[in-house]
Chains A and B, each alone.
Chain A
Amino acid sequence: MRQSVRVKTLKIDDRDVGAREDQTLLEVCRENGIFIPALCHLDGLTPVGACRLCLVEVKGQRRLLPACVTRVEEGMEVNTATERLKKYRRQILELFFSERNHICSVCVSNGHCELQSLAQQLGVDHVHFPYRYPRLPVDASHDRFVIDHNRCILCTRCVRVCDEIEGAHTWDVMGRGINARVITDLNKPWGESESCTSCGKCVHVCPTGALVEKGRSVAEMAKRRQFLPYLTLMREGKQ
């Protein structure tokens, strides 16, 4: 016996759309070809609502809601691309660029970076917040991979894929606020990690050039994350 799933109809950007009640706004938008930017979200991982890029306006709601965790409701009226939202998205991207060191021209992920391509798409042509340029280490102690904290945007995709898909929970976050950063084990060098299985999933879900394979030069690090939807599909038994 399959559990019955109810269907809801709602309006997104003045378009009538239908959705299953267990779907999020982000899923429905993507099905319908409505573009919503997101950096922390990745299909197959638990959504966390941290990057705030997918915020949308919902009629009757005082606050902006993150589309990645907001479930559809009957009769909802959603706006995904108002001038206000576009402004916030550009500002948030600028905050990402100003937080650490994101110089694309010398980055191994140049041309394959989600942060970079979102900035291009949303028309971020300069950053008007002061750059912080903290001095952060690069950990190349692992045989095959490198973590460059200067490129990390703390989306925690690596933390989630390692915990939820690989089951190793090598990655986690330490520190608070502006000093937060991802760590392996209890802040051991990655190469000395006892829990890491060297599966490389973290590298391939990383949206920027923070987690990369060794031996890649500028613009050579393209990520392959096709494995993720496949794995989750097989796990959940949704054929």
Chain B
Amino acid sequence: MTVEELHDIAMSEREAQGEYLHHIHVCMAAGCLSSRSDKVKEALEAEVKRCNGEKKCLVKGVGCMGPCAAGPLVSVAETGTMYRGVTPEDAADIVQSLGKEPVSRLVYPTDTPFTQRQVKVVLENSGKIDPERIEDYIAADGYSALLQALTSMTPAEVIEQIVRSGLRGRGGAGFPTGLKWTTVAKANGGRKFVICNADEGDPGAFMDRSVLESDPHRVLEGMAIAGYAVGASQGYIYVRAEYPLAIKRLRTAIRQAERQGLLGNNISDTQFSFHVDLRLGAGAFVCGEETALIASIEGKRGTPRPRPPFPAESGLWGDPTLINNVETFANVPPIIRNGGEWFARIGTEKSKGTKVFALAGRVVNTGLIEVPMGITLREIVYDIGGGVPDGRQFKAVQTGGPSGGCIPEQHLDMPVDYESLVQVGSIMGSGGMIVMDETSCMVDVARYFMEFCMTESCGKCIPCRVGTAHMFDLLTKISEGRATADDLALLEELCDLVQNTSLCGLGITAPNPVLSTLRYFRDEYLAHITERTCPAGACQMRR
């Protein structure tokens, strides 16, 4: 596939779509599908057919549109009208309204901060293109970055752009992506690998799933560019088996890209070859840790190993391996297309670009959002999220899943970037964001996450294996009103031990939910212990 051929595909696709006067988009990502958006799409198609083509309308299944709680979502591309909670019975009204006034009873307002405060880079195609058709992706400038890199840039120049962009790993830790690519590129070895970590496991997080379901080609393109930059010809996507739709669409995407010559041998008649295969995770959270993930791909038990050596030096089958998160790869094509400087203009000094968050919990608007780094938590919770419903009081926002912490009201005006979040005792994490109101008990929250860490510990190192179990028991005791002040001291002692002596990130960060809630809500712990009451009314006292 040459640049000209790619251009031709894009042009003919745009022409084909331009023949329609109207374009109805139906969300076919997992959230809306679960409320039967496929039936809605069928009904719309039947309705268009019934009108005998007089409406000149294209009904297209697309990826995630964002406000998942309001699904099934349908949008009309020309006017930007968005419909919420659409049922198959609404199809006739929607088709009839094309070119006229929208169906007011179904309209989802798009002039709100929820849509206006977002900046879409990773999700630029989500909700717009059909994730199951490569032509649609190509028509949205897809794969132009890959061909641009292959035909007019050296690997070093590609890395240079990534370094300039200031992109940092979106999996949670925020390691500079350009630096990682440089290390793998410089590592010795004839055979190198690129791995995409799609083992998203934080409770309540679905950013990576949405990207894979809505725009799978973007991830493939990012991986191929990475492969070219570091000198790898084989890529693996490690995706959890709990994401069947993402897997199906990835398989389709890989097949299409191979058929078009955008993956495979001698891409665009260059020396560069790149193949991508899927590997499915079997449900272990710890396999999101890079060394455990690599062990799992190798067919071994998914347990982490001590680093160094880092995967960049000795990874999959002992060869240098570049391992990045889905969202990190998804950021790569626009960076190459628009240049590193363009990307670096978004965000803060040390955290560039945007971040996708899965906004959940006690907020009016839940769903998938993409915001520029440096936005405040208050803007996310109150402007984009629409605040806490039912007139309740905001209490805390939890970021970073089981590795993160709870951030209270007093820090809401803090900018969202890697460093600030660590400062207040949480982490950026992969992008789960759970808002909690006064009815959430912080001891109960800490207990929930500790239970998660305990069951997801691999059992290899003793502090994590036994320490998390002890901490869970102590938190249970506290939440049931059976604990003493000594138990609290023991809990804090275990937090220190597990944090400082565990082998991998799971154990090291497991105490974070406890530590952050102790830091801001110690009085709640004390109320459970001394007064044997739960101020939030969430815990059942046993005594």
Binding site for B on A (CB under 8 A): 48-52, 55, 63-64, 66, 69, 88, 91-92, 95-96, 98-99, 128-130, 132, 153-154, 172-173, 175-180
User: Which of A50, A99, A176 interacts with B455 by CB under 8 Å?
Assistant: A176
In the complex, whether B460 has a CB less than 8 A from a CB of chain A is yes
Given contacts A52-B502, A92-B501, 14 further A-B contacts (CB under 8 A): A50-B461, A51-B462, A52-B462, A64-B500, A88-B501, A92-B463, A98-B466, A99-B466, A128-B490, A154-B459, A154-B460, A172-B301, A177-B464, A177-B469
Query: Is A177 a contact of B502 with CB atoms below 8 Å?
Result: no
Is the CB of B458 closer than 8 A to any CB of chain A?
Answer: yes
Residues from chain B with Cβ under 8 Å of A154 in the complex: 459-460, 462, 465
Report the nearest B residue to A132, measured CB to CB: B469
Contacts across chains A and B counted by CB atoms under 8 Å: 94
A interface, over-half SS: loop
Given known contacts A92-B497, A95-B467, A132-B469, is B458 in contact with A177 (CB within 8 Å)? yes
Distance from B199 Cβ to chain A, minimum over Cβ atoms (Å): 15
B-chain residues with CB within 8 Å of residue A98 when the two chains form the complex: 466, 470
Once the chains are docked, how many angstroms separate the CA of A132 from the CA of B503? Answer: 22
Taking residues whose C-beta sits less than 8 angstroms from the other chain, chain B's interface range is 20 to 34
Q: Which residues of chain B have a CB within 8 Å of any CB of chain A?
A: 284, 286, 301, 305-306, 454-470, 473, 490, 493-494, 497, 500-503
CA–CA, A91 and B497, complex, Å:
8
Q: Which of A50, A130, A173 contacts B470 (CB 8 A)?
A: A130
- State whether A129 touches B460 (Cβ < 8 A): no
Q: Which residue from chain B places its CB closest to the CB of A55 in the assembled complex?
A: B501
Interchain CA distance A51-B462 in the complex, whole Å: 6
B284 contact set on A, CB distance < 8 A:
176
Whether A178 lies near B454 (C-beta < 8 A) is: yes
Given contacts A48-B460, A52-B501, A154-B459, contact A177 B305 (CB under 8 A): no
CA of A153 to CA of B462 in the docked complex: distance in angstroms?
A: 9
Given contacts A51-B462, A154-B465, A177-B469, contact A64 B454 (CB under 8 A): no
Q: Contact partner of B493 among A48, A49, A91, A176, CB < 8 A?
A: A91
Q: Which of B301, B457, B497 contacts A177 (CB 8 A)?
A: B457
- Closest chain-B Cβ to A97's Cβ sits at a distance in Å of 10
How far apart sit A232 and B468, CA to CA, in the bound complex (Å)? 37
20 contacts between A and B (CB under 8 A): A48-B306, A48-B460, A49-B305, A50-B460, A52-B462, A69-B306, A92-B497, A95-B466, A95-B497, A99-B462, A130-B470, A132-B469, A154-B460, A154-B465, A173-B301, A176-B456, A177-B455, A177-B456, A177-B464, A178-B466
The CB with the most chain A CB atoms within 10 A, among B462, B463, B493, B500, is that of: B462
Q: How far is B455's CA from A52's CA once the two chains are assembled, in angstroms? A: 20
CA distance A177 to B303 in the complex (A): 11
| Interface residue from A52, A64, A69, A128 paired with B461 (Cβ < 8 Å) | A52
